[in-house]
Amino acid sequence: MIIYNKKDIPKNLQEFFEPAELGLEPDFNDYINKLCDIFDEVKRVLRKDGTCWVNLGDTYYGSGTGHKSTGKSGYSPKTMAVGNKKRHTLNKQLKSKCLVGIPNRFVIEMMNRGWILRNTIIWHKPNCMPTSVKDRFTVDFEYVFFFVKSKKYCFEQQFEPFSNNSNKNEIYKGKGKKDYKKNNVQNPSDTKRRILESMKKNKGRNKRTVWRITTKGFKGAHFATFNRDLICPMIKAGCPEFVCNKCGKIRKVIKIKIGERICPPIGGVKKAGGDNATYSGNTTINVYKTELSDCGCNAGFKGGVVLDPFMGSGTVAIEALSQNKKYLGIELNPEYVEIINSRIKEFTKQSKLV
């Protein structure tokens, strides 16, 4: 959260800000703007090849009854609830019970400010909290947005298991009657086969954008904690494992051509020759090996840095440390800071024992 100066709030609105923090704005557009202001600063300090991941939930516009606990209206990035009659006089853009669309509004404003949206990830929560509502469906997902600030950025491809055996053993059939070579177009059947071979080689397929991850409870006094399984692929994919201590370059996996091999097309006609038979319409493909790049500084490498501007209970920091990467967190709530320090201290002890 970010706390701004309460004296700058008009006196007739100060009752809505207790305490004065991000999420208690009288208009959801103000909330979006202030949240994006924070990510403007994130963008400023982020490396040109860095990545940005944002988990943001939505909310329904209130009915005017207010919170049961305080009677106050307000937002927060994880649980936003609006519903004070006085507040409705300030913002009548939406009707009661309408889904506000906070994530969509946020994404559009982020793109307006120069961010590049690479993926919208759906965090599916199979063990989501049951609801008592009877006039709509129970929401069992949240959004995770994957942003970058430039076209070229650090990203390590992540794989997931084959969804079923048919993907692993699929055989593409068809004789490829058209002559694709005349139009200088690759036979799509060959393309499919190469993708399949890549999947088998990597023992999985390229990770999809629907992540089925359960929520987990937390004994501490923080109500909105992540499951580390949600954070893990983000840090693995978007934060480098090796950064040069001297020049700051990232050690990347590079492909080096080591030769060529003949790849018979799907449906190719076999010629005479027994085991050494050739096929009509053979395709020559390049063969590569992979290795890590080296900047030549000979100064050693360290893990990348993960910045968490809303540190909460410190789960992102714990996951960063578990991947031998560094973290930088921001948290203004003193109680949460104690929780974070306690968790990190305990994790560090366990890591040393291992």
The answer to the question of residue 323 being in a domain is no
Q: Tell which of 238, 272, 292 closes a domain.
A: 292
Give the residue ranges of the chain where pLDDT is below 70.
1-21, 63-92, 163-202, 217-225, 263-283, 351-354
Residue 266, pLDDT score: 52
Residue 139, pLDDT score: 92
Q: Are 283 and 190 in contact (CB under 8 A)?
A: yes
The answer to the question of residue 64 being in a domain is yes
The answer to the question of residue 134 being in a domain is yes
The pTM is what? 0.74
Looking at the fold, whether 153 and 187 belong to one and the same domain comes out as no
Q: Is 308 helix (H, G, I), strand (E, B) or coil?
A: strand
pLDDT tens digits along 4-39? 344 554 555 555 444 456 777 778 899 999 999 999
Q: Based on C-alpha coordinates, what's the Rg of the chain?
A: 26
pLDDT tens digits along 219-270? 655 455 678 999 999 999 999 999 999 999 998 878 888 888 776 655 454 5
The answer to the question of residue 341 being in a domain is no
Residue written as tokens 């993926």? Answer: 119
Looking at the fold, whether 83 and 181 belong to one and the same domain comes out as no
Number of domains composing the chain: 2
CA–CA distance, 244 with 241 (Å, rounded to integer):
10
Q: Is 139 helix (H, G, I), strand (E, B) or coil?
A: coil
Looking at the fold, whether 185 and 45 belong to one and the same domain comes out as no
Give the DSSP per-residue string, 85-130. HHHHTT--SS-TT-B--HHHHHHHHHHHTT-EEEEEEEEE-TTPPP
Residue 130, pLDDT score: 86
Residue 177, pLDDT score: 44
Query: Going by C-beta distance under 8 Å and a sequence separation of 6 or more, which residues neighbour residue 99?
Result: 58, 59, 60, 61
Residue 172, pLDDT score: 39
CA–CA distance, 309 with 200 (Å, rounded to integer):
39
Query: Going by C-beta distance under 8 Å and a sequence separation of 6 or more, which residues neighbour residue 248?
Result: none
Looking at the fold, whether 127 and 34 belong to one and the same domain comes out as yes
Angle at 64 between CA 58 and CA 70, to 5 degrees: 85
The answer to the question of residue 62 being in a domain is yes
Q: Is 143 helix (H, G, I), strand (E, B) or coil?
A: strand
Across the chain, mean pLDDT equals 76
Q: Provide the domain limits for residue 83.
A: 1-158
Looking at the fold, whether 149 and 11 belong to one and the same domain comes out as yes
The answer to the question of residue 41 being in a domain is yes
Residue 264, pLDDT score: 60
Residue 283, pLDDT score: 66
Residue 291, pLDDT score: 83
Looking at the fold, whether 153 and 174 belong to one and the same domain comes out as no
